[in-house]
A and B are shown apart, each in its own frame.
Chain A
């Protein structure tokens, strides 16, 4: 059976660091599925005026399908998702999540796995660790955090992993020397980074200077389809105007209004839904149009792309 969304109930909430809360999610009915290390789910949050869809790594044991755990850091300038999770969500609430997807899986062929976590970026590694230990893989965890804000699970990790766990608390003035760390690794080591963009860029820079092959450096890059802002679309033939709200795709809005647009992949790659734009500027989010076609600005893939402004006129 195709699984579109999974309804889960918040079973427990725990403050695991000053700015990080952990949520335990159990299925409302049926079962959750086991997942692979590094997987994430997208949590849908029904907020006003627009809802949020944020991707969070699963930090539970991947073989345990009884309960999923996620950890959410309160972001100062968040678009609202993390604030909603921290301030609105209570034990017993129901949420919708997507089935797990994985864009950050370990490379099982690696001779050694070097895990570098920054702050809440520890989360995907929480599901790596049981799997790495199960297969007896060589690994080290280097965990950078500020104990006044983050640093979740560090005592537990230190006691479970012993000398394979290295903690760097910037609030205690303890820094990680990336040059020394990367310079010291055996050939065939793979590096995994999850954390702020500055950390990812920092590791990449040092790795490049040391001549690491880019195929051995992995970082978490979520590809969650992000909702956008509401806009209006006018149909050129009839002059009819439709409202597209923030978490409906343009394609869905057209379909809801009974306008048949051919589609296949609904993910911006197949080219089926290509539609001519008569006026307005598209916000292109597809993989299909060429750079030239984008520059011309007269077509759009409505399954993923939206309006850059308040209004689009389509040749429909």
Chain B
């Protein structure tokens, strides 16, 4: 089902965020097997993918568009450092603008239009009531710096990686809904440096192999992977910068509220090569679903029970689930009587 954006809901305070039946049906459930362990789970992101699915286009725009853009605005107002672009990434930011505007206007013509005459571009975003004319490549003709300008119109976080000497460097991005990591802290780091805290995967050679693969991605052949964690309440911004606001939420989970408080948080990560700069775009599109909504699909609930029950202690600890993991397993067990 194609999703049309609905009125603004909140990812903080009263947490009015909710998923429609259509959004639940297209949720990117991340577990292909009953067991979960890290792997190089990268595959070609062939577009157009299945109609209406989150894999249909390069950027997925769904019913939460207005809510997420509103939340991004709140975060950036509190802390402008959630968006940054080192000076050498200017060209990469413009590559991203081109890739985003051409894909969005082709994939969602009812919401976005782009007119180009040479370097004179006019962009219209009907969802946000924006219409801007600018000179492509000239940052002084945009109302905001290029990364922030386009980032405020894309659902999901974005990082732009500079590729040098067979490695990737986190030199630009807009990150307002991270699963507990900080762009300001990781800025300038290399692929293995920013992955430093991840347990087990380094020893398994996962990052060596992934890096090699990523460096060889050509234009026009994006790839994707899914990552997941659990989040308490439908909170988009679980960043180290705001830890004081959400860290204690983990203590609020009880057997009575676990199904509504605990959300499966899935990141659809797409990697796409930028044209002129050779930078790699890394988009992190976050989907949240409460355990209760997830359990409307009995197959998902059963599989999730098995995955949670056998999850390695290192992963439970790293993902910050220790406190409430037993309650999650217990609640899900009703969907998996044999286990």
- A103 contacts chain B at the CB level, 8 A cutoff: yes
Q: Take A2-B47, A269-B213 as given contacts and tell me if A264 and B41 are in contact as well, using a CB distance cutoff of 8 Å.
A: yes
Contacts of B212 in A (CB 8 A): 269, 287
**Nearest residue in B to A288 (C-beta to C-beta)?**
B209
Q: How many residues of chain A are within 8 Å of chain B by beta carbon? A: 34
Quick check: B276 and A264 within 8 Å, CB to CB? no
Complex interface: stretch among A18-26, A30-38, A199-207: A30-38
Cβ of B184 < 8 Å from any Cβ of A?
A: no
- Smallest distance from the beta carbon of A114 to chain B beta carbons, Å? 16
Alpha-carbon gap, A48 to B106, bound state (A): 40
CA distance A250 to B222 in the complex (A): 23
Q: When the two chains form the complex, which single residue of B88, B216, B220, B223 contacts A3, counting CB atoms closer than 8 Å?
A: B220
B273 in contact with A101 (CB, 8 Å): yes
Identify the closest chain B residue to A262 (Cβ): B32
Partner of A103, one of B45, B215, B276: B215
Could you tell me if B219 and A270 are in contact, using CB atoms closer than 8 angstroms? no
Q: A265-B213, A267-B216, A269-B213 are in contact. Are A105 and B42 (CB under 8 A)?
A: no
Interchain CB contact under 8 A, A2 and B276: no
Residues of A within 8 A of B48 (CB): 1
Q: Would you call A2 and B209 a contact (CB within 8 A)?
A: no
Interface presence of B10 (CB below 8 A): no
What A residues does B336 contact at CB under 8 A?
none
Which of B39, B221, B222, B276 lies in contact with A270, CB distance below 8 A? B39
Interface string of B149-166 (1 = CB under 8 A from A): 000000000000001110
Interface positions of A from 94 to 133, Cβ below 8 Å from B: 98-103, 105, 107-109
A107 touches B164 (CB 8 A): yes
Alpha-carbon separation in the docked complex, A310 to B44 (Å): 31
Interface residue ranges of A59-104 to B (CB < 8 Å): 62-63, 98-103
Closest CB pairs A-B (n = 8): A3-B220, A101-B218, A36-B278, A99-B220, A264-B43, A99-B219, A269-B209, A270-B40
29 contacts between A and B (CB under 8 A): A1-B47, A1-B48, A2-B44, A2-B45, A2-B47, A2-B221, A3-B219, A4-B220, A4-B221, A33-B219, A34-B276, A62-B276, A63-B276, A98-B218, A99-B220, A100-B218, A101-B216, A101-B217, A101-B219, A102-B278, A107-B164, A223-B216, A264-B43, A265-B42, A265-B43, A265-B213, A269-B42, A271-B40, A288-B209
> Given known contacts A2-B220, A34-B275, what 14 new A-B pairs fall within 8 Å (CB)?
A2-B47, A2-B222, A33-B219, A33-B275, A36-B276, A100-B219, A100-B275, A265-B223, A267-B216, A270-B42, A270-B43, A270-B209, A271-B39, A287-B213
